[in-house]
Structure 1
Amino acid sequence: MRPYVLLSCAMSVDGYIDDTTPERLLLSNVQDFDRVDQVRAESDAILIGATTMRRDNPRLLVNSESRRAERAARGLPPYPLKVTITNSGDLDPDLKFWHHGGEKIVYCPDSAATKLREALGDLARVVSLGPTVDLGRMLDDLGQRGIRQLMVEGGGTIHTQFLTQGLADEIHLAIAPIFVGDGNAPRFVNPGDFPGGSGHRMALAEVRAVDDVVLLRYLPKESSGSKTS
């Protein structure tokens, strides 16, 4: 069985997930970062794309000691499995992703597997998926490894791929009260052929204020049922 796929993203009011400065733009507030930490602790695996790894160099951890202890008490590893996807195989073994937390898996096409195994050694398990990175095959593999919930933290290319292929079960979209206003900045999603097109209205599962951030929970595979006159 494939895992439940939850996309998690913070964006500005005008739809950007970062700006174009060298420093990462912090869109969430303290309370929202804590909410994200809770969702990470509830997940079996967390996925980011290779571009996000290179740009932000995140550790991608459950930061709360009590949440890690709760996972351990349930017989789980303190940290969820960390997952990334790369087509080129160009991933620096010095990135923080490899050196913090628990187990890591890299999914790649066959053409990049040897290079990745030589570069990463025992830092991560490398799994090749054929001539291209097939997200469906990746989800099948994660399901066979016992992953029941996969939290996807982007970036925009990864979010777009999951959504256009109809593979996302839930979206957590945190809206920060700022404007970026830079057309070159990365967005939550890129242009794509989304299931149902502009006629499909997703079901809204929750609206919640998290201090000055608003959390929207959408269910992409379900319809809101709203009709236009």
Structure 2
Amino acid sequence: MARPHVLLSVAVSVDGFIDDAGPDVLPLSSAEDFDHVDRLRAESDAVLVGAGTLRSDNPRLLVRDAARRAARRASGLPEHPLKVAVSGSGDLDPALRFWHHGDGKLVYTTERGKGVAAARLGGLSDVVSLGADLDLARLLDDLGGRGVRRLMVEGGEGVHTAFLAAGLADEIRMAVAPVLIGQAGAPRFVRPAAFPGGPTRRFHLAEVTRAGDVAVLRYLLRPPG
């Protein structure tokens, strides 16, 4: 079974941060960019986030536009893509909005985290063990077996780093906001890691667009065609 196409979606400041160090989420995207992200969600079979993003952002991860939801229904799809969470510990708060909105939910965790997640979430989500560690290749194989062809990864920095370090991302959509954050404790797009090819590897810039005051860059990580 083919693995899904993996799109990493991120909004960053000019100096590469995805948020500031404060307790509230700093919105970096413009209204036009939020709408574009909504379209990409509607075109995806599944959206994925890490446990840290669930805790810090408390997202719903839904398709917001009614016409896009209607188009999915007309195509025989659920209104919203499958929502996927990744957590090594399985310690996930059942009160988060993620579990109480949308259609199907799925948690990938470790063998030690499986029982924790199942006990914490009850019937709110299916729970799948990836073994002793969070094996993302195995995760993609499992999603492919479930019919997922397009996976949109929406953060956070640990998850993005893991997909890139494992060479499992196909595409990056980066929205660059015209702000500087400059705080040492603020999160960045990725953490230090041994990325395939290192600093000599150059991605293919496929597209540059404008969304309000935000520049949107689309990079392909594998040769086009």
TM-score, structure 2 as length reference: 0.98
Give distance in 2, aligned partners of 1:33 and 1:139: 26
String of CA shifts for 1:29-71, please: whole Å, max 9, x gaps: 1010000000000000000000000001111110011100000
Could you say which residue in structure 2 is the equivalent of 1:51?
52
Contact 1:53 1:97 (8 Å CA) reproduced? yes
Could you say which residue in structure 2 is the equivalent of 1:87?
88
Equivalent residue letter for 1:18: D
Contact 1:166 1:221 (8 Å CA) reproduced? no
Note the 1:33-182 alignment, pairs <5 A.
Answer: 33-182=34-183
Identity in percent? 57
Q: Secondary structure at the match of 2:222?
A: strand
Give distance in 2, aligned partners of 1:193 and 1:207: 27
Give distance in 2, aligned partners of 1:28 and 1:64: 17
Equivalent residue letter for 2:152: M
Contact 1:29 1:213 (8 Å CA) reproduced? yes
Q: Secondary structure at the match of 1:68?
A: helix
| Structure 1 unaligned residues grouped into runs of 5+ | 224-229
Give distance in 2, aligned partners of 1:202 and 1:108: 30
Contact 2:91 2:120 (8 Å CA) reproduced? no
| Deviates most, 114-123 or 96-105 | 114-123
Give distance in 2, aligned partners of 1:11 and 1:63: 22
String of CA shifts for 1:144-179, please: whole Å, max 9, x gaps: 000000000011111011011110000000000000
Give distance in 2, aligned partners of 1:96 and 1:11: 24
Say whether 1:15 aligns with 2:1. no
In the TM superposition, what is the alpha-carbon distance from 1:121 to its structure 2 partner? 1.1
In the TM superposition, what is the alpha-carbon distance from 1:133 to its structure 2 partner? 1.0
Q: Secondary structure at the match of 1:205?
A: strand
Q: Secondary structure at the match of 1:151?
A: strand
String of CA shifts for 1:101-121, please: whole Å, max 9, x gaps: 111000000111111111111
Q: Secondary structure at the match of 2:123?
A: helix
**Number of residue pairs the alignment of both structures matches:** 223
In the TM superposition, what is the alpha-carbon distance from 1:221 to its structure 2 partner? 2.2
Could you say which residue in structure 2 is the equivalent of 1:209?
210
Give distance in 2, aligned partners of 1:221 and 1:213: 25
Give distance in 2, aligned partners of 1:116 and 1:209: 41
Equivalent residue letter for 2:37: V
TM-score, structure 1 as length reference: 0.96
Give distance in 2, aligned partners of 1:43 and 1:17: 22
| Aligned alpha-carbon RMSD (Å) | 0.8
Give distance in 1, aligned partners of 2:58 and 2:116: 20
Give distance in 2, aligned partners of 1:113 and 1:164: 24
